[in-house]
Amino acid sequence: MKIYYNQRLKDLREDMDLKQEDIAKIINTSQSYYAQYENGKRSIPFERIIKLADFYNVSIDYIAGRTNNKKGGIK
């Protein structure tokens, strides 16, 4: 089963007990706009994926669902 980035973003946020508003502030957007990323209604810009990967201390490949290893590498 492939997990898409929107679900990974939601899972990472919830694992840290954060609200969408908290993450929206980190990437300098509104809560409603960020919610569209998590709901898969809007594509998230690559610059924001990088910022979130740094914030969560995970690889971009993990967010993209290309690996289940949070630090990256092969599945």
Going residue by residue through the chain (75 aa), what tens digit of pLDDT does each one get?
455 799 999 999 999 999 999 999 999 999 999 999 999 999 999 999 999 999 999 999 999 988 888 887 665
Residue at 35 is within a domain: yes
> What is the rounded distance in angstroms from the CA atom of residue 62 to the CA atom of residue 72?
6
- Number of domains the chain contains: 1
Residue at 69 is within a domain: no
Residue at 26 is within a domain: yes
Residue at 24 is within a domain: yes
Q: Are 36 and 42 in contact (CB under 8 A)?
A: yes
pTM over 0.75? The answer is yes
Instruction: Give the ranges where the chain is alpha helix by DSSP (H).
Output: 5-15, 20-26, 31-38, 46-56, 60-64
Residue at 73 is within a domain: no
Q: Are 21 and 11 in contact (CB under 8 A)?
A: no
Give the domain range for residue 50.
Answer: 5-64
Q: Tell me the CATH number at 10.
A: 1.10.260.40
